[in-house]
Structure 1
Amino acid sequence: MSGPRMTMPTQALLRWALSEPTREWYGLQMCEATGLASGTVYPIIARLEQAGWLESRWEEPEEYASEGRPRRRYYRLTTDGAERARIALAQVSQSRATARLPFGTSRPVPGGSG
């Protein structure tokens, strides 16, 4: 299964989620934490959930009825999703570092003599 496109907003959302990978959060929290608009965050959340990187649950009436607010949907990284997110972000970071090398140069081999 291939993962979602690693756009800058997707990367920002995943970095934030990985800061506490077992935590549950709702969409508005993600918007506030990342500074991204809901029209950006919710489609990313949907793609991550479809890819199996996130799981969700609706809160129970006891959790919100006494506060007089709408029901929230909570999201959490799956164990597999957290691992895939770490790998994907590392690959993006590596690609960026390689892209910054001047033309005709190569990255030194770790542990190499050179």
Structure 2
Amino acid sequence: MATQAVLRALLEDPTRPRYGFDIAGQAGIATGSLYPILARFEHLGWLDSYWEDTAEVQDGRPRRRYYRLSTNGAASAREALDRVGRRVPRAWRPAGGTA
């Protein structure tokens, strides 16, 4: 379920770079669960990532690593969620959406 939540969060705007804490918040999961998922997606070629330029860092916070779905990753993510949606019995699906 965490993997699906991350995919849904990333697919809301696949071309927008997002940092981990932002993705975790939207997906409703802990960052400790998020980063292994992001690493797996990056290894599969579904994600592109880069470190924030040090000149952009504000208020002494650490640099952020940004993630965004690659073109193939967005298509693969949609297909994966579609496959999962077909396997989940309709009675178990939340109202107005897929599992």
Give yes or no for TM over 0.5: yes
Counterpart in 2 of 1:5?
Answer: none
Query: Matched residue pairs, number?
Result: 92
3-state SS, counterpart of residue 74 of structure 1: strand
Q: Does 1:77 align with 2:57?
A: no
| Percent of residue pairs bearing the same amino acid type | 51
Counterpart in 1 of 2:59?
Answer: 67
Deviations 1:8-63 (A, max 9, x none): 10000001110111110011111111120111101000000001000100011111
Amino acid aligned to 1:92 = V
3-state SS, counterpart of residue 67 of structure 1: coil
Q: CA RMSD in A?
A: 1.6
Structure 2 gaps of 5+ residues are: 93-99
Larger Rg belongs to: 1
Q: Does 1:46 align with 2:39?
A: yes
Amino acid aligned to 1:56 = S
Does the CA contact (< 8 Å) of 2:8 and 2:27 recur in 1?
no
Matched ranges for 1:23-34 at <5 A:
23-34=16-27
Q: Which runs of 4 or more aligned residues in structure 1 lie more than 2 Å from their structure 2 counterparts after TM superposition?
A: none
